[in-house]
Amino acid sequence: MATQPAGTSQEHGGLRLAGEADPDLAGEGAGEGQPTAGVGPYRLALRRLRRNHVALAFGVIFLLVVAVSAAAPLYSRYIAHTGPNDNHITETITVSGHSENVVSTTGIPIGPTWHSRFFFGADQNGRDVAVRLLYGGRASLEIGLLAAVITTVLATIVGTTAGYFRGAVDGILARVMDVIWAYPPLLLGIALGTSLALGGLKFGPLTIRGNSLFIPALIIGFVYVPWVGKPIRGQVLSLREREFIDAARTQGMGHVRIMTSEVLPNLGSTIVVFIPLIIANAILLEAALSFLGAGVQPPNPSWGTMIGEGLQLLTAAPHLVLVPGLTLVLAVVGINVFGDGVRDALDPRAQVRLQH
């Protein structure tokens, strides 16, 4: 069998064999004949992610949806010249030289004009669908991002505390998470959303109205705490038995300091992987709650409320459902695929091609 010259490496499907030098580590502050400098796990993960072109492409799609939604006030003021809740039900518009009613006498709204006004058509109340789509995207994305923050913070606190202290503390917190997770997230969200939408929420002197976007964000953030808290708890149970935790205790470090300086840094990759997945699930749950009337309250737009309102005229005006539905799919699929790419990049066992 032919032997391979010393100093060369062999590839199989773009993967390095054991003992080979990582091409991504070459040239990191080391000259020829000098030892190669080490690269941290997050920097290596970033390089892995840069080579996952599919994940990056879908991440760009999600960012484009975010950017366009953030520009809703500019589009509304300078292009469409109408607000998200402005009715034009009795007005007419000129399309290709012909004057048409925004809403016909039979109650059917105009379809996409592909012009500055009513680009995606109008709804049954004569409101510009494109403007409502962008403002609805702002609402859905704000709720999703805020819910992800709430879930991440609460789940990290609960999971870390339960896993580190074990015993009675772990028993109580774990059972509370089990009770929350025993209910289907949608049913629990509907129950909480309906009750809070009617009476709002009060924290001492602070009062939150029922139509505030913080209400559905708080509900969604609370519902998904066990989904993230349970894996964190399991990882902390393993970490607390490691040697570096024993060394920290020997040095006289307190429980809070050990959790913040020793345990939390080792949870970073787990939390980073969960964040895009939480955002995707939060956007979907918000759409479902708004569709069922327990999320964003009318007349405020969101993708879920637009889909719910458009179902009444699905056969006569399908654009009322297709436009927000396709945008919702783009946003959720984009962040989901990007999240999968982040997970693979952070997983040292993942077979990710590191070379060009």
The CA distance from 314 to 329, in Å, is 18
| Per-residue pLDDT reduced to its tens digit, 255-264 | 889 998 889 9
Q: What is the pLDDT of residue 349?
A: 63
| Per-residue pLDDT reduced to its tens digit, 163-215 | 999 889 999 999 999 998 888 888 888 888 877 777 777 766 777 776 788 88
Report the share of the chain in percent with pLDDT over 90.
Answer: 47
pTM of the full structure: 0.81
The band of 112, judged by pLDDT with boundaries at 50, 70 and 90, is very high
Q: Is the pLDDT of residue 278 over 80?
A: yes
Q: Is the pLDDT of residue 62 over 60?
A: yes
- Domains of the chain (ranges plus CATH)? 132-297 (1.10.3720.10)
Q: What is the pLDDT of residue 352?
A: 45
